[in-house]
Structure 1
Amino acid sequence: MSGSFRLSRRDWLRLAAVGAVGVSQSGWLQALAANTAGAPKRHKSVILLWLNGGPATIDLWDLKPGHENGGPFKEIATAVPGVRIGEHLPKVAKQMKEMAIVRSMATKEGDHGRARFVSLTGYAPQGAIQFPAIGSLVSHEFADPDTDLPGFVSIGGRANGGEAAIGGGFLGPRFSPLVVGGGRGRPGPAMGADDLKVPDLSLPADVSAASQTKRLDLLSGLERDFESGRGSPVADTLKAATDRAVRLMRPEAAAAFRLEDEKDTLRDTYGRTTFGQGCLLARRLVERGVSFVEVTLDGWDTHQNNFTSVERLCGNLDAAFSALLTDLKERGLLQDTLVVCQGEFGRTPKINGNTGRDHWPASWAAVMAGGGIKGGQVVGKTTKDGMAVDGDPTRTPDLIATVVKAVGIDPMKQNMSNVSRPIRIADPAAKPIKEIL
């Protein structure tokens, strides 16, 4: 029975009138009750497709044909008349009715580390304040203590990156991401068998369930003794990690990560790469109620041979992004799942001497799709040479405020920080993008 099955009051009265309620002996009501109890609580979710390194959005979403800054790539039509994007995203172009391209992004940070921090938290680093990631903030708002899956999962990108420290922040370790895969979202065609595996979800062969229970009871007692009167952040972190590991070992939770349960044809459609399979895993997770999933595609720091690299990367992005939107839509999940595609900044409109593009935060683009936003449109524009935003710029806090508002969270809500100062989810000066909402 589908998890989306619902009975209205009118339906219930109609069934009662024909005696359906009286045949509970058939097991129908019990099955319905069990199904309802097992279905995740529905709230909106976010999937962030993180293009690590800063993509040349002038070659993806905002081309400048005919200008010397435009490079060799051509525009192609999309499913929305008048909206055109890069030629190496033909599958994504067919999904344009679900998408909104924000071509007015303008930010200040041109350093990878600082730009990632601002993009993932909405704030510039400020002394001792431990700002949480946007994924932690969203999972905190939708936290369900009864679920076995974490609210925030990061796929393929945090093993070696500077963003590894951007997690639960002052919200605590419980809201840090579960990191899956250390392949850095590599763009090559092959995918390691263990790239997206969560290790140690099964008991060792020589440990029975009863022995495991006794060990966990002993550990719990030791933790309580150690925590008594201390309130140590280290103890809290260890306890949160242990609790998460135990919950993930339960069969229902562990099953979420079994990509082999999917049809081969669907896995092929996403692409047999870490990023492609990561996007498929993201769908499986939000389907089970996970609030925020980020999937990383690395390799966009194209100071050299930009056009060769972008064409290669687009083959991966095009297959996975389009398959994700189609899959979510066919399963009735797209309306409740906001997909965001961005990096930390864009790249220079001017092509350098190595046929590359350098860091450029002054004018770039981000994409949003699903989640109930108004798709089929372009918001903002850049000048003919791509060097600046033509009109009002969209800042990182504006984008974050738009994301959280789209999923039903008040961007001005405050959380108490680690320095006993209330911090809003989005910067107080942030302005959600009204055209999208």
Structure 2
Amino acid sequence: MVNHPFLRRTALKNMALGVTAWSTSSWLPALADVASATGKKPKSVILIWLNGGPATIDLWDLKPGNQNGGPFRKIDTKVPGMQISEHLPGLAAQAADFSLIRSMSTREGDHSRARFVSMTGYTPQGAIKFPAFGSLVAHEFNVENDIPAYVHIGGRPAISGGGFLGPQFAPFVVGGRSRRRGPDNVDLKVADLAPVSPDQQAERLQLQSELGSLSTMPTSVVTDALNSARDRALRLMNPQAASVFNLEEEQASVREAYGPGSFGQGCLMARRLVQRGVSFVEVSLNGWDTHSNNFERVKELSQQLDRGCASLLNDLRERGLLKDTLVVCQGEFGRTPRINGQDGRDHWPASWAMMLAGAGIRGGQVIGETSDDGAEIKSKPTRTADLMATIFRGVGLDPRKQNMSNVGRPIRLADPDGTPLEELL
């Protein structure tokens, strides 16, 4: 215990400096220590986030021969009757493992609002601080692990905090700092993450305990966030925990299979994380806001998506992890069936498609249908609330389960208006 007034002030000053340094690193939203409370075998979710809103009419629901169709061909998959883009051959070979929803229909055409709704399952409502569904999954499974329970790989997360669940359930951010773009760029650094010896770790944990007993400051959102960051930073000093982020531990052939860039290698990191019990991993593939030059850009992005996502599904299946890992692939909305004057497609929430695979999901299904021009839903319109209810059911969570919000109002995991898609479960 630090009792001398001068030593006490010095120690507190040093701790303050240390916390400030931590808060400027990418591990400010790191998670606090958690313990299992559900009594169920925890499952994991990997969200492949197609940031910017992908032209799903050029991925999952092509319209060749129609004036809206564009130049891409459809190819057969392993599932009779299911066809997808010619630029997704790896995924076509694994169609038995995934299902498509071709009838997503949402209302938000603004990136920020659409991302919020896609990530939380709710529209903004006054002062309520809705958490991302990644935070909800991490909170509900509450797995004891020195590795953060919710990890975001690449770019900035749409919801950076933990909402009314608290900062300990915010996403831990990996990479996304490099200004260099391109499919071969790898930016997966965890800032300042360096292993320490067991003796050093023990000394720092002891110092944490002693300084914690000295503090008489009232708690606040800021101090809670800093405490969460400090606690997780100390736990990640465990070399075994930190090693999960080291892709050099994988065989070169495995790394090569996923593709050379941040997205492909991020998919590999996602597999390593769920293999170590992480509840939710989000891997972002940026660049889908294709108002111009849509087809050239979608072709390049599709090749990255196909290599990384197909390798991920194959790897999860071969390791026996797919049955306990739900893979979700989507963006915040789709893009206009009509091609604009710049050979691009604009925002279109009215009719779009997405993919689900793994835990709790029956593969090889196609849910819903759009019109011949792709502009309207012909069958099984599906809202974000329905998708969220399906996701929670898929991983064994009751979408009706409630958590108390920051305004004292109980909030369900999924919007009560949502209905799970039973044909997928």
| 46 and 426 in structure 1: CA distance in 2 versus 1, 3 angstrom threshold | same
| 326 and 184 in structure 1: CA distance in 2 versus 1, 3 angstrom threshold | farther
Is the contact made by 2:195 and 2:238 (CA closer than 8 Å) also made in structure 1? no
The alignment partner of 1:68 has SS state of coil
Gaps of 5+ in 1: 1-40
Q: Decide which moves more: 307-316 or 179-188.
A: 179-188
Residue 374 (structure 1) aligned to one of 351, 356, 362: 362
Is the contact made by 2:334 and 2:348 (CA closer than 8 Å) also made in structure 1? yes
Structure 2 equivalent of residue 49 of structure 1: 48
Residue 192 (structure 2) aligned to one of 186, 194, 200: 200
Q: Distance in 2 between matches of 1:271 and 1:336?
A: 24
Report the count of equivalent residues: 386
Structure 1 equivalent of residue 167 of structure 2: 173
Cα deviation code 1:54-104 (max 9, x no counterpart): 000000000111110001111000001111011110111001000100001
Q: Report deviation, 1:202.
A: 2.1
What is the Cα-based RMSD across aligned positions, in Å? 1.8
The alignment partner of 2:107 has SS state of coil
TM-score, length basis structure 2: 0.87
Structure 2 equivalent of residue 128 of structure 1: 127
| 108 and 247 in structure 1: CA distance in 2 versus 1, 3 angstrom threshold | same
| 320 and 211 in structure 1: CA distance in 2 versus 1, 3 angstrom threshold | closer
Cα deviation code 1:374-419 (max 9, x no counterpart): 1111000111110011123100111111111100000010000000
The AA in structure 2 aligned to 1:173 is P
Is the contact made by 1:185 and 1:275 (CA closer than 8 Å) also made in structure 2? no
Q: Report deviation, 1:203.
A: 5.4
Structure 2 equivalent of residue 70 of structure 1: 69
Is the contact made by 1:346 and 1:365 (CA closer than 8 Å) also made in structure 2? yes
Is the contact made by 2:201 and 2:237 (CA closer than 8 Å) also made in structure 1? no
Residue 225 (structure 1) aligned to one of 214, 227, 232: 214
Is the contact made by 1:45 and 1:291 (CA closer than 8 Å) also made in structure 2? yes
Gaps of 5+ in 2: 1-39
Q: Report deviation, 1:224.
A: 3.7
Q: Report deviation, 1:212.
A: 5.3
TM-score, length basis structure 1: 0.85
Q: Report deviation, 1:248.
A: 1.1
Please list, as runs of the form range in 1=range in 2, the aligned pairs for 1:236-255 lying within 5 A after superposition: 236-255=224-243
Is the contact made by 2:201 and 2:234 (CA closer than 8 Å) also made in structure 1? no
Q: Distance in 2 between matches of 1:215 and 1:369?
A: 42
The AA in structure 2 aligned to 1:347 is R
Q: Report deviation, 1:133.
A: 0.5
Q: Report deviation, 1:317.
A: 0.4
| 389 and 166 in structure 1: CA distance in 2 versus 1, 3 angstrom threshold | farther
The alignment partner of 1:103 has SS state of strand
Q: Distance in 2 between matches of 1:44 and 1:173?
A: 22
| 223 and 233 in structure 1: CA distance in 2 versus 1, 3 angstrom threshold | farther
Say if 2:176 is the partner of 1:182: yes
Structure 1 equivalent of residue 288 of structure 2: 300
Q: Report deviation, 1:147.
A: 1.4
Residue 425 (structure 1) aligned to one of 407, 410, 413: 413
Q: Distance in 1 between matches of 2:339 and 2:401?
A: 43
Q: Distance in 1 between matches of 2:118 and 2:180?
A: 21
Structure 1 equivalent of residue 253 of structure 2: 265
The alignment partner of 2:311 has SS state of helix
Q: Distance in 2 between matches of 1:216 and 1:184?
A: 32
Cα deviation code 1:14-33 (max 9, x no counterpart): xxxxxxxxxxxxxxxxxxxx
Please list, as runs of the form range in 1=range in 2, the aligned pairs for 1:142-157 lying within 5 A after superposition: 142-144=141-143, 146-157=144-155
The AA in structure 1 aligned to 2:167 is P
Is the contact made by 2:258 and 2:311 (CA closer than 8 Å) also made in structure 1? yes
Please list, as runs of the form range in 1=range in 2, the aligned pairs for 1:358-373 lying within 5 A after superposition: 358-373=346-361
Is the contact made by 1:156 and 1:184 (CA closer than 8 Å) also made in structure 2? no
Please list, as runs of the form range in 1=range in 2, the aligned pairs for 1:398-437 lying within 5 A after superposition: 398-437=386-425
The alignment partner of 1:338 has SS state of strand
Q: Decide which moves more: 248-257 or 116-125.
A: 248-257
Cα deviation code 1:128-185 (max 9, x no counterpart): 11100000000001112x3111110000021xx6x1x443100001101110011589
Q: Distance in 2 between matches of 1:353 and 1:311?
A: 19
The AA in structure 2 aligned to 1:128 is A
Q: Report deviation, 1:255.
A: 1.2
Is the contact made by 1:186 and 1:274 (CA closer than 8 Å) also made in structure 2? no
